[in-house]
Structure formats: C-alpha cells, structure tokens
A and B are shown apart, each in its own frame.
Chain A
Amino acid sequence: MSEFELDLPKKKKRKKKPVKKEQKKSETNEEEENEFKFELPKKKKKGRGRGRGRGKRGRGRGKRGRGRGRGRGRGRGRGRGKTKGKEKAKDLNSENLNQTEEPEIEYKVLKSEFEQGLKIEENPDYEYQELLTRFYKTLKERNPELTGENKFIMKHPKVIKGGSKKTVIANAQELCHAMRRRPDHVLSYFLAELMTTGSIDSDGVMIIKGVYREKHIVPILKRYIQTYVACQVCNSVMTSLIKDNRLFFVKCEHCDSKTTVQGIKSGAATNLLRRKQKFQNKK
C-alpha cells in the first residue's frame, strides 16, 4: 500500500490546502486508492469496449484510441481548467504511468521492486520488452558510446552572399576536415548537384555561382555524408575514401568494412552550354 501512496501525486496537491481538511482526506485517500484499483480498468471498458483496456497493448490504445505513451492523452478533454475531485486524481494517476505502454498495475509492481534492488531471477514475471527498455536506459546512462545511435553533429555551413550572383561557403575547410574528405571532392559533388560552376580559394573558401542559402546547401551536405562518408554497415563516420583499380571505396575504421561508391558524374546541361557557345562561334 505504501508503494501506491508514493506514486500518487494527488496527495501532494492536497497538502497545500488547510490542515484540518488533510486529516479527513488522508483517510479518504486510502479508500479512493482502493477504488482506483477497480475503477481504472472499468473505465477503459466503458469507453472503448471490452478486451481493449488491457492485453498486449496495455493502455496504449485503450482509452482514446491513441498512444497514451506518447503524451497525447494529456490535455485533451482532461484536466483543462478545473476538474473535480476524482476525475482529477484519476487523470493524474494515468499521467504518471504514461511513460510506457504497459498495464498500470504491473508497472507499479516493477517500480517498487526495481527500487528495492531485487534481482531479475527472483521475479520471472518480467516481459521481454520491459527488460529491453530497462537495458537500453542503463546503457545510455553509463556507456553512451556502445549504443547504436551515433549522432554525428556537424557544424552548419556558413553561407554568405558574395556579390549579386555568387555564394560563398566560408566554413568549407573546417567541414572537409571534420568529414575527412578532400575539399576537391566535396566541391565537385556540390557542383554536380547544383549544376553550376565554382572554385576554391586559397583560404579554403568555396565560391559557387548562383544565389543559394543555407537551406539549399544543408540537404546536399547531408546527402553527401550519407553516400560518401557514413559507413553503410555500422553507421559510423570514421571512414576514408580509397581508390582501387578505378573504383572508389569507403573504408570504415570502426568495423573494417569496404563498400564501393560511385564516382561523381555531372549532368547534361553543362555540356549544352558549351554547345550553344560552339553554335554561336560558328556563326
């Protein structure tokens, strides 16, 4: 019983009220707690029909037909403005347990045992998904490197207007250094995608013909990383470009894998420009 009291937040709220009423309400809380055990599952059945409140999905699809676990159950027809007495408490009760898509009562049991530090072997009622989530939580806290999420945080490219018809990427050298790629290669990819001309200055600054902004260039950078920088096996960024027998390879230092990659090919329209000039010259 003590466990349930800790979980319920409604008690905290009632502490704000004057002292006299607290004594009375402490008694009623226990009653209401007992009621809650029975009422909450009943309520589910009222709204949505039987057999949907619990089960594999638990409360995920129970009440509102939407995933409560994602915080969508909050604030929709509940708890807006003033709610009275039991309705308030029940909603808050459900909010606490919205963290996972599991039946409420089982979650309460888990929490208490987890806090007391019991071993898993002593409680064979754990389900596979519960254990998985617990495992990944502890992994993230203690060893964030070993998780499969490799968030490669890149700096934003500084895109500046270089005159009326040119754009300048001031960050180019830093970006290429972070990606471990030659600026020539990166430039040629940009130019093939944008179908324009450009060059690199002595300071490592890229100049591209045409007016572009950061929102145009960032998706191209992302695509470059996905194709030429990120390893397709382990999704790490510690890679290098190698050329072997006229083929480009992306070699990963994390997992020692080699994947082939196509070279950069420009489109047709650039050639058409030259054709126009030829035609004009002939005249």
Chain B
Amino acid sequence: MTDIKNLETYDPFEDVQEETETKTKTSVFKPIHLRVKTRRGRKKITTIENLSSEFDLKMLLKEMRKKFCCSGSIVNDERLGEVIQLTGDQREPVAEFLVEEEITTKRGIKIHGN
C-alpha cells in the first residue's frame, strides 16, 4: 500500500510538533537576576538566580571564586531552584564574566540594587 502514493499516510503536523517543543523551551525568556544583600555593616552577598541547569554550577562557582577572589556556595531554594551565592558585591564582575563566557547576552542579565 505504501507504494501507491495516494494511499500513504501523511501526518502534516510531524514537523510542527518538533518545532513547538523546541519553541516552548526558548520562548520562555528567563533572565538572570543579580541581587545584593547587606549582611553586617559593610559586608554583602550577591546572589545569582535563574542559571539554566545545562551548566555545571560547581565548575562555574569554582571559576568565579578564583577570578574574583571570594568565597561562595550553591544553595537550593524551594521557589527559585539552585542559586549561587558569592561574598562581596560582585554584580558587575559577574555580569562581565557571563558575557565573556557566552552564557548570556547583556539583555539576559538584570541587575538589582544600588
């Protein structure tokens, strides 16, 4: 039956389904948020949210710690998922770092705070 072309089953939505799956992933635009919190007097903490799970967060943390000469950790938040914490006010160096490593563009980063 497949030899006769008129009787071939043709699903016109085959290609479209694959596209929609990929589109739903990319259409949801999740920017990376950089926030600062004061701890005690002059000391501060920066938090990095919404990093996609494709990346190995531990390796990222390690590089950031070496580059910025600070300590940091990964924290599991109920609402927001995994969040990277760094000591000090590291918003701008982190933003440059993310852009250099081609993790996001400038648009995908949102800086909060002063």
CB-CB under 8 A from B45, the residues of chain A are: 269
Query: Is A162 among interface residues, defined by CB-CB distance under 8 A?
Result: no
Interface status of B83 (Cβ within 8 A of chain A): yes
B38 within 8 A of A: yes
What 1/0 flags go to B28-66 for Cβ under 8 Å of A?
A: 000001011110000001010100000000000000000
Interface residues of B in 64-114 (CB under 8 A from A): 75, 77-80, 83, 85, 112-114
Q: Check if A267 sits within 8 Å of B37, measured CB to CB.
A: yes
Q: Within the assembled complex, what's the spacing in Å between the Cα atoms of A216 and B112?
A: 12
| Nearest-CB residue, chain B, relative to A216 | B114
Nearest CB on A from B89, distance (A): 12
Smallest Cβ-Cβ distance to A267: which chain B residue: B35
Interchain nearest-CB distance for A266 vs B (Å): 9
Tell me, yes or no, whether A205 is within 8 Å of chain B by CB.
Answer: no
Give the residue name and chain of the B residue nearest to A213 (CB). Answer: B114
A-B contact pairs, 16 of them (CB 8 A): A192-B112, A193-B35, A193-B113, A195-B37, A195-B112, A219-B114, A220-B114, A267-B37, A268-B35, A268-B47, A269-B35, A269-B85, A271-B77, A271-B79, A272-B75, A272-B77
Instruction: Report the separation of the CA atoms of residues A195 and B83 in the bound assembly, to the nearest whole angstrom.
Output: 15
* B78 surroundings in chain A (CB, below 8 A): 271
User: B77, A193: Cβ atoms under 8 Å?
Assistant: no
Residues of B within 8 A of A210 (CB): 38
Give chain B's interface secondary structure class: strand
Interface status of A40 (Cβ within 8 A of chain B): no
* Contacting pair B47 A267 (CB below 8 A): yes
In the complex, which residues of chain A have a beta carbon less than 8 angstroms from the beta carbon of B83?
268
| A269–B78 CA distance with the chains assembled, in angstroms | 12
Q: Is the CB of B113 within 8 A of A195?
A: yes
Within the complex, what minimum Cβ distance (angstroms) separates B97 from chain A? 19
Residues from chain A with a CB closer than 8 A to the CB of B37 are 195-196, 267, 269
Task: Note all chain B residues with C-beta closer than 8 A to A216.
Answer: 114
Whole-angstrom distance between the alpha carbons of A216 and B89 in the complex? 14
User: Which residues of the partner chain A approach B79 to less than 8 Å between Cβ atoms?
Assistant: 268, 271
A268 near B112 with CB under 8 A, answer: no
**From B35, B77, B85, contact of A195 by CB (8 A):** B35
CB closest chain-A residue, reference B84: A268
Interchain CB contact under 8 A, B49 and A195: no
Q: Mark A49-72, 1 if CB is under 8 A from B, else 0.
A: 000000000000000000000000
